[in-house]
Amino acid sequence: MKVLFLAAAVLAAFPVAAQDVQGRNLAAACAICHGTEGRVPANAPVIPLAGLPKDHIATQMKAFRDGSRPATVMHQIAKGYNDQQIDALAAWFAAQKR
């Protein structure tokens, strides 16, 4: 019985770990502008994403994607992500230290 309970607990945790990996992998494309792990130099013209609230990042990405937030490039980039991918990206950046 204990083995069954332990197996269920491990399997229940797996989707979170998978989302972390997905977020990290998707975030690699963001590094060219937003820096490795979402950190940029203080004088950079883009916003550092590391440590921002997950909901804020997701809301902004969806606004770029839907065209309700104007941008030079982000509106085109954001169109390549679905809601699940945006949530994974947002969670990953939110978990990074500033």
Task: Say whether pLDDT at 8 is over 70.
Answer: no
- Here the CATH number for the domain that contains residue 83 is 1.10.760.10
Look at the chain and report how many structural domains it folds into.
Answer: 1
Average pLDDT score over the chain: 87
Q: Which of the pair, 83 or 98, is modelled with greater confidence?
A: 83
Q: What is the pTM of this model?
A: 0.79
Domain that holds residue 19: 2-95
Burial of 51 (0-12, 13-18, 19+ CB in 10 A): middle
Residue corresponding to tokens 């399997």 = 11
Task: Give just the sign of the alpha carbon dihedral 55, 23, 98, 43.
Answer: negative
